Structure 1
Amino acid sequence: MAVATGITTAASADIYGAYTVNYQVTAEDFGGASVTVNVQDLYLASDDAADVALNVFNLDLVDSAKVTYFQSFTSTGWIAQNAGGPFDAPALRRADSFVTMGGFDQDVLLPAQAPGAGAGTGIDPNFGGNSTNYPGDLAGWYNGSPPNLNGQVGQVPQGPGGSFGLGVLIGRFAYDGDFDLTDSTLEVTWNQGLGTPGVQGGFTVNVPAPGAFAFLGLAGLVGGRRRR
């Protein structure tokens, strides 16, 4: 696991919560099969544009989140990766389950797992392996190349009606049935760029935070930039 040097405990955290954006996707997988899944994109919320998320650790999923998450036929597992070319299926971009430390397009409603997105993410031994059904007890993941600043916060979905605020995407969880990440807990390390001290905080998903909210019937908006 990547661990920042000079760790301090946040008295007043700049990254202040973890929350989900919930929606349903129907997309074509490799070979032409149609896939419909319920999706929860997991974000960290911040109040400081200088914040850079470095790692997630000690993830504790609630029982309702311990399901066999969907992986696209061309997915390599939980580490975000899209090989591009003939393997770049819509289901891989929109419906695949993965973890990441940022590295995805910001200022969009529903970020796509495009080639190169999330590059450099690694998982720790507690995760249970890249092909596990769901992250194991006390699972973690991290940016394996901190100089790329993949975890830099930016404008991401953060409120009802498609409003935006500062945050960073750290995972996508997709399943063809009901599940909920709410009340799961995790810990996070972040700093404000190379050479700055690390800070750690613990959060409960959707408690408190901008809150889970549903984008219903947004198939035409997937990957689209928000209006200014």
Structure 2
Amino acid sequence: MSKKQAKETQTKAVGLITLTDPSSPVSEQYRTIRTNIQFASSVDRRLQTMVVTSSGPGEGKSTTSANLAVVFAKSGQRVLLVDADMRKPTVFKTFQLNNAKGLSTVLSTSQNALEVCQPTVVENLHVLTSGPKPPNPSELLGSQRMNQVIAELKQTYDMIIFDMPPVITVTDAQIMASKVDGTLLVIRENVTNKESITKAKEALTLVKAHILGTVYNGATQAKDQGYYYY
């Protein structure tokens, strides 16, 4: 592997501000996003599974998915955060979990998904890490086995959040967006451009994804205190 390739595959843990500073304005904005997502659920369309993605890298989709998982769990719901970014996983680092087994293991074997889910320091929050990097992430996500796993997990968890790769880069997010109840698109100030947003929306619309809305990430208040809003 070249130095460039090695650098491209490096990932790091994301910040869990909703855990380290729950009273901060940023944490409050995540709770606002949670509330808006809950209002998007209805009797006719219960929102139990959700994809979080972005148009490109560096827009904060993993930060958003992890912090949303925390605030949903703190509201008393049984939450599962699934690291479905099997190419550049971050969730196991964020929550300091073992990644020897994970989603790739479940999808490529007959192992029960619940046996691989791991508890976290947050009450009500479990994580299904990515597992060892497979040669065929898109095929695994698009398989009938994936449908079975989702159905099994829905029997145990109130909310399942899938952290996905960027939608324009690979087809993984498109595939999963067609399987879940809703999709959240993360965009970042001074990073995302209008053309990328348009392409991402077109890609999701193509698979008839239920787009819940966008999280506008990286705007600043006084003293450069970051905040997120929905």
TM-score (structure 2 length as normaliser):
0.30
- Report which of the two has the higher share of strand: 1
- Report which of the two has the higher share of helix: 2
Higher relative contact order (Cα pairs below 8 Å, separated by 6+ residues): 1
